[in-house]
């Protein structure tokens, strides 16, 4: 009897193994971005313009208010992924490494075990971009900070573009760019050429990657201070509306669909969608181990992150403005995308 039962037991164990492998073939890789609105510490740095965020300023930026800001941000960041944490999290408007360390060590974020990529940029306001990442998912293998020098204004300074090439689950390579382009402060028309210059520069960098690997997985995230249909993005960066069939060596803007549906991540006179996720052809088409859906960019918006204006519009509840302290979260809402990662090659390798 045993000689008949034994083969069935073996087949049963093998079937369980293959079923478990099938479940592991696709794993999620989530990427989020958040302009955290002036995350400054309380210490004066004479090299930057941080005077609005000191204990002696009109905002009265003290330890209590700083810690409240950290807890507010960490509540948002720990809630955006349904109780989990994004695999990578791009940030804008952080002052220095100190505030990033304080942020990832808050109660709500310490279990994410984030590591930090950051470098002080030449921005006169002292606000930088950064990338938080979970080393169990994303392993950086090359990181650079790309300076932006405008030919029309050689003395002007702005934030670097953070570039990190890394491995996802030890299998697939992805090129990540974290951006915070020049704001519209001083006038949209006056500042538009600066953003268009940045878009052209970033496009050249992406094209250089495509020249080596036409199927490169590229993810551009950031506060671009323009909407998806503006010239800096649609023409200079050449980020297109997601369409099928997917063309080779192109960039597709996942913010295009929500923007045209009236969604936004910040409110001025109306909703704008400056916070965008842009991907390469291979990510949209799924031709190189990773795949994202064309409508995958989600704007995270909860009532507790908003306040009601006199006109009845619910807008992001910001921390401070014009020397007045409001005690909110940020003037931007964060965005997130989900990318499916095919690990079948890894599974079959083990088999």
Number of domains in the chain: 1
Exposure b/e, 18-36, CB count within 10 A at least 16 = b? eeebeeeeebebbbbbbbb
Question: Which pLDDT value is given to residue 17?
Answer: 43
pTM of the predicted protein model: 0.91
Q: Is residue 129 part of a domain?
A: yes
Residue in 121, 125, 169, 109 with CA at minimum distance from that of residue 37: 125
- Residues 50-82: pLDDT tens digits? 999 999 999 999 999 999 999 999 999 999 998
Query: What CATH number does the domain containing 293 carry?
Result: 3.60.10.10
Q: Is residue 231 part of a domain?
A: yes
Q: Mean pLDDT, 10 residues at a time, over the chain (351 residues)?
A: 49 44 68 98 96 97 98 98 94 98 98 98 96 98 97 89 97 97 90 97 98 98 98 98 96 97 95 98 96 96 95 95 97 98 55 23
Question: Which pLDDT value is given to residue 25?
Answer: 63
Q: Is residue 17 part of a domain?
A: no
Q: Is residue 115 part of a domain?
A: yes
Question: Which pLDDT value is given to residue 261?
Answer: 96
Q: Is residue 201 part of a domain?
A: yes
Torsions phi, psi for 272 (to 5 deg): -115, 155
Q: Say if CB 43 and CB 63 are below 8 A apart.
A: no
Q: Say if CB 279 and CB 218 are below 8 A apart.
A: yes
Axis-axis angle for helices 63-79, 97-104 (nearest 10)? 60
Which residue range(s) make up the domain with 104?
24-350
Q: Is residue 128 part of a domain?
A: yes
Radius of gyration over every alpha carbon of the chain, rounded to an integer in angstroms: 22
Q: Is residue 5 part of a domain?
A: no
- Angstrom distance (rounded) from CA 228 to CA 209: 23
Q: Say if CB 242 and CB 252 are below 8 A apart.
A: yes
Task: Please report, for the chain, how many H helices and E strands are present, in that order.
Answer: 8, 20
- Residues 165-200: pLDDT tens digits? 999 999 999 999 999 999 998 888 889 999 999 999
């Amino acid at each position: 009897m045993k000689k008949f039962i034994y083969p069935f037991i073996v087949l049963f164990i093998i079937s369980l193994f293959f079923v478990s492998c099938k479940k592991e073939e696709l794993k999620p890789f989530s990427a989020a971005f958040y302009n955290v609105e002036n995350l400054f510490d309380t210490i004066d740095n004479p090299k930057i313009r941080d005077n609005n965020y000191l204990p002696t300023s009109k905002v009265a930026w003290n330890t209590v208010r700083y810690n409240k800001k950290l807890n507010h941000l960490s509540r948002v960041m720990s809630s955006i992924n349904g109780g989990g944490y994004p695999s990578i999290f791009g940030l804008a408007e952080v002052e220095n490494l100190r505030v990033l360390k304080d942020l990832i060590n808050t109660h709500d974020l310490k279990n994410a075990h984030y590591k930090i990529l950051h470098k002080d940029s030449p921005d006169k306001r002292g606000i930088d971009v950064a990338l938080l990442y979970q080393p169990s998912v994303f392993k950086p293998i090359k990181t650079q900070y790309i300076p932006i020098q405008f030919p029309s204004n050689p003395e002007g300074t702005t934030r670097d573009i953070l570039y990190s090439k890394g491995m996802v689950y030890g299998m697939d390579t992805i090129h990540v760019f974290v951006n915070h382009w020049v704001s519209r402060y001083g006038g949209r028309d006056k500042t538009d050429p600066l953003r268009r210059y940045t878009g052209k520069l970033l496009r050249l960098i992406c094209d250089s990657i495509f020249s080596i690997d036409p199927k490169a997985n590229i993810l551009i995230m950031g506060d671009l201070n323009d909407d998806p249909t503006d010239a800096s993005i649609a023409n200079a960066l050449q980020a297109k509306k997601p369409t099928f069939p997917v063309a080779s060596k192109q960039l597709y803007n996942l913010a295009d669909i929500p923007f045209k549906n009236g969604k936004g991540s910040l409110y001025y006179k109306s909703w704008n969608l400056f916070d965008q996720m842009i991907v390469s052809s291979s990510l949209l088409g799924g031709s190189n181990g990773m795949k994202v859906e064309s409508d995958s960019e989600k704007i995270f918006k909860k009532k507790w992150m908003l306040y009601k204006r006199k006109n009845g519009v619910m807008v992001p509840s910001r921390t401070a403005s014009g020397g007045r302290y409001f005690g909110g979260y940020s003037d931007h809402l964060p965005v997130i995308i989900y990318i499916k990662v095919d690990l079948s090659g890894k599974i079959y390798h083990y088999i």
